[in-house]
Structure 1
C-alpha cells in the first residue's frame, strides 16, 4: 500500500473506561471495513479520575460515592453490558474490586509504543481485558509487569521503571494537552491530527471517517489545511 493511502488514528482513552473498550472493538471492525486504507493506531493517555490514590480505592465504595445508590450502579452496568456483548466483550463489573489510578498503566502503554505499534495494540487490548473481563487491578505493578511480558515487552526493564518517576510528567503533559484540545470525554479518535470523532461511535461511522480522511490525504488536501 502506498503511504498516500495510509492514515494515523490517535486514540485518546483510559483503560478503565468501558466505552473505550467498546470503542477499541468498533475501531477494529471499522479498520476491517475501510477497504484498502492502511490504518496506524497510536494510543494516547487520558485519566477519568486522576485523584484516585496510587493504591486505588474500593470500587464499590467509589462507585457508590459517584452515583449515589446500588440501583443506579446496576442501571449503568445493565446499559453497558449488552453493548459490550455485541462487540464480543464479557463485562464482569462485579469482579472488579479496585478502582485503580491509571497513571502507571498509561506509562506502560507509552513504553509499549516505543517498542512498536503491534506491541502497544496487544498491551492495550490485554489491559482492557484484565480490568473488565477478569477484574484484575491494573494499578498493581505485578499485574502491569505480567501484562508487559505477555505483550512482548522486556518485563525486567518494566519492573525497574515502574517504581521510578520515568515518564510520569510526559504522560501528565499529554493528558493536559488533550484537555487543552477540548477533549473532555473518551474515547476520542483523532484522524491525521486534523479530524476528531468523539465517543464510541459505531463501526460504520468510524469506517466512513477513515475512508474520507484517507481520500482527502490522497488528494493532498490535508496539507493545504495544515
Structure 2
C-alpha cells in the first residue's frame, strides 16, 4: 500500500502529521505501507532569500498563507496550538521556525531522494528538513543546509544534484498534479484515490489505513492520467498549468486529435490566440464537421477582431449544433 503525503515542509502540521502517521503505522503492523512525500506550497510567494519569520508574521499576506496549514483557525491560534501539540508528539521542547523560507529547493531534494534512493531515503530527508526548519531554526532554502541534511540522511549526492538544477520540473509538475487531484491543504494523505485531510490523530489515521487496505491504484496509463489532469486544470481555470502538463504529450503524441484540441482550448483560455488559431485551423481542415473546433476557431478569430472570418465558422458551427447559436 502506498501512502502519499501531500505537504509543505514549512507547514508545522505536516511535521506533526508525520509523527502521527508513523504512530498509526506502528500500531497497525498489518498495514504495510510505503510512505511517499509529494509537494504542496502554502507560501509560494516566499522570498528567494529567507528572512526572519518574526518580522514577516506581521504581514497579513503571510498569515493568510500559513492559514492553509489549519483551515478555519487563525494563524496566531494555530501557532500556540501547534507548539503545544508538537511537544506532546515528542518533536521537541524548542519549537518554532526562525525563517520564512522558500521551500521549493527542499521539495526538489525530496523528489530527488525518492528517485535516487526510494521512499526510506526520502523519509529520512523529510525528517531532516522539517527538524532543521522547526527545531533547529535553520534556513532550509539555503543549498548548503539542504546538502548537509541530505548527507546525514544517506543521500550524499543530493547537494550536487540541487546545484545542477535537478528536480525542478518534477516538483512543478507534481504541484500541478496535486491541484488537479483536488489537494487543497497540508498535509493531505492519499491512498488509491481516497484522501484524509489534515494532521488527524493517530487513531483516525489508523482507521483510514485499515479502510484503505487492499484498495488498488487505478491501472491507468501514465499518458492518460497526465491528459486527465491537464484537462482538470483547465476546468479549474488554470490553462497555463494545463499546458505545462500537456507539453510532453504534445511532443510525444502531437498528432493525437484529443491532445491538440485540449491544447487549442488552453491556448484560447490563456489568450495565446495565434497559437490557438494555428492548432484549431488544422483541426477544422482535418475534420470540417467538428462543430466544437469550428466554434472555438470562430471565437478565437472574433477575439482578434476578425469578425468577418469568425462569422463563417460560427454560422457553420451553429448549423451543425444549434446549441452553439447565440
Q: 2: distance between equivalents of 1:223 and 1:44?
A: 16
Q: Does 1:77 align with 2:79?
A: yes
Q: Does 1:186 align with 2:186?
A: yes
Question: Where do residues 1-226 of structure 1 align in structure 2 (5 Å cutoff)?
Answer: 7-66=1-60, 67=63, 75-90=77-92, 92-93=94-95, 96-114=97-115, 115-154=117-156, 157-192=157-192, 194-214=193-213, 216-217=214-215, 222=216
CA RMSD of aligned residues (A): 2.2
Q: 2: distance between equivalents of 1:223 and 1:130?
A: 34
- The aligned length equals 208
Q: 1: distance between equivalents of 2:151 and 2:219?
A: 42
In the alignment, is the contact (CA less than 8 A) between 2:113 and 2:158 conserved in 1?
Answer: no
In the alignment, is the contact (CA less than 8 A) between 2:98 and 2:133 conserved in 1?
Answer: no
Q: 1: distance between equivalents of 2:165 and 2:181?
A: 26
Structure 1 gap segments, 5+ residues each = 1-6
Query: What secondary structure sits across from 1:64 in the alignment?
Result: coil
**The structure with more radius of gyration:** 2
Q: 1: distance between equivalents of 2:139 and 2:93?
A: 15
Q: 2: distance between equivalents of 1:79 and 1:224?
A: 38
In the alignment, is the contact (CA less than 8 A) between 1:63 and 1:73 conserved in 2?
Answer: no
Q: 1: distance between equivalents of 2:154 and 2:218?
A: 39
Give the ranges of 4+ consecutive aligned residues of structure 1 lying more than 3 Å apart after TM superposition. 72-76, 91-94, 222-226
Deviation at 1:73, TM superposition (A): 6.4
In the alignment, is the contact (CA less than 8 A) between 1:81 and 1:90 conserved in 2?
Answer: no
In the alignment, is the contact (CA less than 8 A) between 2:56 and 2:100 conserved in 1?
Answer: yes
* TM-score, length basis structure 2: 0.60
Quote the residue 1:3 is aligned against. none
Q: 2: distance between equivalents of 1:186 and 1:41?
A: 15
Higher relative contact order (CA 8 A, sep 6+): 1
Q: 1: distance between equivalents of 2:168 and 2:108?
A: 7
Deviation at 1:101, TM superposition (A): 0.3
In the alignment, is the contact (CA less than 8 A) between 1:34 and 1:208 conserved in 2?
Answer: no
Deviation at 1:174, TM superposition (A): 0.5
* TM-score, length basis structure 1: 0.84
Q: 2: distance between equivalents of 1:223 and 1:110?
A: 21
- Identify the structure with the greater strand proportion: 1
Distance verdict in 2 for CA 1:25–1:43, change over 3 Å: same
